[in-house]
Structures are given as C-alpha cells and as structure tokens.
C-alpha cells in the first residue's frame, strides 16, 4: 500500500452515526473499530469508535473517532490530517519534518494495535497523525 493523506475527524460520542451517514452519502466500505475491541473495557467508552474508516469507490478516504476521556473535544478544531501506510522510511521522514519545530503529543512508537503511531502539531498549528502499518 502506498502512503495516504486524508482528513481525520474527532467526534463527541457520535462518530458511529456520523460515519454511517457519510457511508450512505458516498457509498464504499465502512470499517468501525471500538475502544472495547482494543482493550478499552471501561463501560463508558467500550462501544465508542476508536477508529473508523470510509473508503469510497471514487478514491475518497475519511477517518474518524470518538474523543476518548481525558482528551479535549473542541468543535471547529476537531479535524486533523492523517498520514498512513506501510512505507515506513517515507512516513518516518514525513514525521521528522512535520514534528521539527512543532509539539509532539504522542511520540511515534509502537501502539496497542500493533502499528507505529505518533501525533504532533506542526510549527504552523496543524495537527498531524502518522500511522505506519506493521506487517
């Protein structure tokens, strides 16, 4: 898989409903994973969306999640840019340049779902997420 760049939207508990609406609008394949599937057994978030992805036949990709407890939800500032794929060297290079002079909120490292993931705000105030799929 090549690297992919797409919007990533954070929701306040209604990511499932939003992504189902977008699926009905754009068609394609919708994949939804809950916090419970990845070990978030807390009854308040177990059925909430940890990661959702809509891939359309027209080549659109939209990703989304519910904002987990402890993270701030800011309507209007709830969209970030996601870079993902399995081209590790390429994605590490993007990460190095985007995080340089910015603020890293999640270091780029292996996560509970098995991939490398990191999040940062670049020096211009844009929130980026980088996910490197592991074989």
Measured distance CA(98)–CA(102) in Å, rounded: 7
Q: What is the pLDDT of residue 13?
A: 92
Q: What is the pLDDT of residue 43?
A: 67
Q: What is the pLDDT of residue 42?
A: 73
Measured distance CA(10)–CA(77) in Å, rounded: 9
Q: What is the pLDDT of residue 104?
A: 97
Q: Which residues of 75-103 are buried (b: 16+ CB within 10 A; e: fewer)?
A: eeebebebbbbebeeebeeebeebbeebe
pLDDT by position in tens, the chain (length 135): 688 899 999 999 999 999 998 999 889 999 999 999 987 667 678 999 999 999 999 888 999 999 988 888 888 778 899 999 999 999 999 999 999 999 999 999 999 899 999 999 988 888 899 999 998
Q: What is the pLDDT of residue 68?
A: 84
Residue 61 backbone dihedrals phi, psi, to 5 degrees: -130, 130
Measured distance CA(55)–CA(98) in Å, rounded: 25
Q: What domains can you pick out in the chain, each with its CATH number?
A: 4-132 (3.10.180.10)
Q: What is the pLDDT of residue 32?
A: 98
């Amino acid at each position: 898989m090549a690297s992919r760049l797409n919007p990533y939207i954070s929701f306040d508990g209604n990511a499932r409903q939003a992504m189902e609406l977008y699926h009905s609008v754009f068609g394609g394949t919708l994949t939804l994973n809950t916090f419970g599937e990845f070990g978030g057994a807390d009854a308040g978030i177990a059925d909430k969306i940890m990661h959702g992805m809509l891939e359309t036949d027209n080549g659109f990709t939209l990703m989304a999640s519910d904002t987990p407890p402890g993270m701030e939800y800011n309507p209007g500032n709830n969209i970030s840019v996601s870079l993902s794929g399995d081209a590790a060297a390429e994605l590490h290079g993007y990460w190095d340049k985007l995080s340089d002079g910015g603020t890293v909120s999640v270091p780029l490292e292996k996560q509970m779902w098995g991939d490398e993931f990191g999040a940062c705000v670049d020096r211009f105030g844009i929130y980026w997420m980088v996910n490197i799929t592991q074989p």
